[in-house]
Amino acid sequence: MTEKKLIDPKGRIVPGLISEPVDTVNYLDYDLRTVMDKPRSRFARQWRFNQFQFVSAMSPGWVFGMAIVDLKLVGSGFFYLFDFESGQMYEQSFIQPLARHTGIEPYPERGNARFRKGDVSLAIEPAIGGRNVRVSAPGNVQVDLVLRDDNDPHRLVCPAGYTGWVFTRKSSGLPVDGEVRWGQQIWRTDAQSRGSIDWSCGFMRRETAWNWACLAGVNDDGVSVGLNLAAGVNETGLTENALWLNGQRFVLGAARFEFDRYQPETNWRVTTEDGKVDLSFVPSGVRKEKLNAGILASNFRQFVGTFEGTVEDASGKKIPVAGLRGLMEDHFARW
- How many helices (H) and strands (E) would you count in the chain? 1, 24
Mean pLDDT confidence for 320-330: 96
| Per-residue pLDDT, 1 | 67
Contacts of 279 (CB under 8 A, 6+ apart): 213, 215, 269, 270, 271, 307, 308, 309, 310, 311, 321
Tens of pLDDT, residue by residue over 198-219, are: 999 999 988 888 999 999 999 9
Q: Is the predicted pLDDT of residue 233 greater than 80, yes or no?
A: no
pLDDT band at residue 235, thresholds of 50, 70 and 90? low
Q: Is the predicted pLDDT of residue 234 greater than 80, yes or no?
A: no
Q: How many residues does the chain have?
A: 335
pTM of the model: 0.95
User: Taking phi first (over 0 means left), then psi (-120 to 50 degrees means alpha), and beta for anything else, what does residue 54 get?
Assistant: beta
- Alpha carbons 181 and 290: distance in angstroms, whole number: 28
Tens of pLDDT, residue by residue over 176-195, are: 999 999 999 999 999 999 99
% of the chain surpassing 90 pLDDT: 88
Q: Is the predicted pLDDT of residue 57 greater than 90, yes or no?
A: yes
User: DSSP 3-state assignment of 158?
Assistant: strand
- Alpha carbons 231 and 182: distance in angstroms, whole number: 34
Tens of pLDDT, residue by residue over 261-293, are: 999 889 999 999 999 999 999 999 999 988 887
pLDDT band at residue 95, thresholds of 50, 70 and 90? very high
| Per-residue pLDDT, 238 | 83
CB–CB of 11/31 below 8 Å? yes
% of the chain surpassing 70 pLDDT: 99
- Alpha carbons 20 and 28: distance in angstroms, whole number: 21
| Per-residue pLDDT, 7 | 98
Among candidates 148, 170, 173, 146, which has minimal Cα distance to 157?
170
Q: What is the mean pLDDT of the chain?
A: 95
User: DSSP 3-state assignment of 48?
Assistant: helix
